Amino acid sequence: DGITLHKVRDYVWEIPQDESEGMRAPARVLASETLLDEISDDMSLQQLKNATHLPGIQKYALAMPDAHQGYGFPVGGVGATDAENGCISPGAVGFDINCGVRMMKTNLRYEDVRGREEELVEALFENVPTGLGAGGIFEGSVADVNRILQGGVEWALAEDWAVPEDLAHCEDEGKRPDAEPSKVPEEAKQRGRKQVGSLGSGNHFLEVQRVTDVFREDVAREFGLVEDQVVVLIHCGSRGLGHQTCQDYVRDIEKRHSGFVDQLPDRDLAAAPAGSQLAEDYYGAMCACINFAWVNRQLIMHRTRQVFEDVFDRDWEAMEMDLLYDVAHNIAKKEVHEVNGKEKELFVHRKGATRAFPAGRPELPAAYRDVGQPVIIPGSMGAGSYVLRGGENSLSETFGSTAHGAGRTMSRTQAKQDYWGGDVQTDLREQQHVYVKAQSGATIAEEAPGVYKDVDEVVRVSDALGIGDKVARTFPVCNIKG
DSSP 244: H
If you compute the radius of gyration of the chain from its CA atoms, what whole number of angstroms results? 21
Contact between 245 and ligand 5GP per CB under 6 A = no
CB of 99: closest distance to ligand 5GP in angstroms? Answer: 5
CB of 383: closest distance to ligand 5GP in angstroms? Answer: 7
Of 99 and 295, which has the nearer Cβ to Mn ion? Answer: 99
Write out the E strands in 306-421.
323-328, 330-339, 342-351, 354-355, 374-377, 385-390, 401-402
Nearest to 468 by CA among 9, 27, 30, 14: 30
Q: Which does 479 bind (CB under 5 to 8 A by kind): Mn ion, ligand 5GP, none?
A: ligand 5GP
Of 10-18, 200-208, 263-271, 274-282, the segment contacting ligand 5GP by CB under 6 A is: 200-208
Q: Which does 471 bind (CB under 5 to 8 A by kind): Mn ion, ligand 5GP, none?
A: none
CB of 71: closest distance to ligand 5GP in angstroms? Answer: 12
Q: Exactly one of 302, 329, 349, 404 is catalytic; which is it?
A: 404
Burial 357-393 (b: 16+ CB within 10 A, else e): bbeebeebeebbeebbbbbbbbbbbbbbbbbbbbbeb
Of 167-175, 238-246, 363-371, 447-455, the segment contacting ligand 5GP by CB under 6 A is: 447-455
**Site pattern 35..74 for ligand 5GP (x: CB under 6 A):** -------------------------------x--------
Of 128-136, 155-163, 245-253, 375-383, the segment contacting ligand 5GP by CB under 6 A is: 375-383
- Candidates 77, 240, 379, 390: give the one binding ligand 5GP (CB under 6 A): 379
CB of 33: closest distance to Mn ion in angstroms? Answer: 27
Nearest to 38 by CA among 73, 64, 16, 60: 64
Residues 278-317 that bind ligand 5GP (CB under 6 A): none
Amino acid at 28: R
Contact between 407 and ligand 5GP per CB under 6 A = yes
Contact between 231 and ligand 5GP per CB under 6 A = no
**Site pattern 349..368 for ligand 5GP (x: CB under 6 A):** ---x----------------
- What does the alpha-carbon distance between residue 366 and residue 124 come to, in Å, rounded to a whole number? 32
Contact between 207 and ligand 5GP per CB under 6 A = yes
Q: Which does 71 bind (CB under 5 to 8 A by kind): Mn ion, ligand 5GP, none?
A: none
3-state secondary structure of 312: helix
Residues 84-143 that bind ligand 5GP (CB under 6 A): 99
Contact between 425 and ligand 5GP per CB under 6 A = no
Of 138 and 475, which has the nearer Cβ to ligand 5GP? Answer: 475
**Continuous segment of H or E residues that includes residue 219:** helix 217-223
CB of 120: closest distance to ligand 5GP in angstroms? Answer: 16
- Candidates 380, 425, 443, 462: give the one binding ligand 5GP (CB under 6 A): 380
Q: Which does 380 bind (CB under 5 to 8 A by kind): Mn ion, ligand 5GP, none?
A: ligand 5GP
Q: Are 13 and 34 in contact (CB under 8 A)?
A: no
Closest residue to ligand 5GP using C-beta atoms: 405
Contact between 205 and ligand 5GP per CB under 6 A = yes
- What does the alpha-carbon distance between residue 250 and residue 271 come to, in Å, rounded to a whole number? 8
Q: Are 277 and 183 in contact (CB under 8 A)?
A: no
Task: Let me know if 68 is a catalytic residue.
Answer: no
Instruction: Look at strands 385-390 and 468-481 and give their pairing.
Output: antiparallel
- What does the alpha-carbon distance between residue 140 and residue 239 come to, in Å, rounded to a whole number? 15
- What does the alpha-carbon distance between residue 246 and residue 259 come to, in Å, rounded to a whole number? 20
Of 19-27, 183-191, 405-413, 415-423, the segment contacting ligand 5GP by CB under 6 A is: 405-413
**CA of 177: how far to CAs of 60, 62, 217, in Å?**
29, 27, 35
Burial 122-144 (b: 16+ CB within 10 A, else e): bbbbeebbbbeebebbbebeeeb
- What does the alpha-carbon distance between residue 236 and residue 260 come to, in Å, rounded to a whole number? 33
Q: Which residues bind Mn ion (CB under 5 A)?
A: 96, 99, 237
3-state secondary structure of 68: strand
CA dihedral 360, 364, 366, 369 (to 10 degrees): -30
Q: Which does 452 bind (CB under 5 to 8 A by kind): Mn ion, ligand 5GP, none?
A: ligand 5GP
- What does the alpha-carbon distance between residue 357 and residue 126 come to, in Å, rounded to a whole number? 37
Residues annotated as catalytic (active site), given as ranges: 404
List residues binding ligand 5GP (CB under 6 A). Answer: 66, 75, 99, 203, 205, 207, 233, 352, 378-381, 385, 404-407, 447, 452, 455, 476, 479
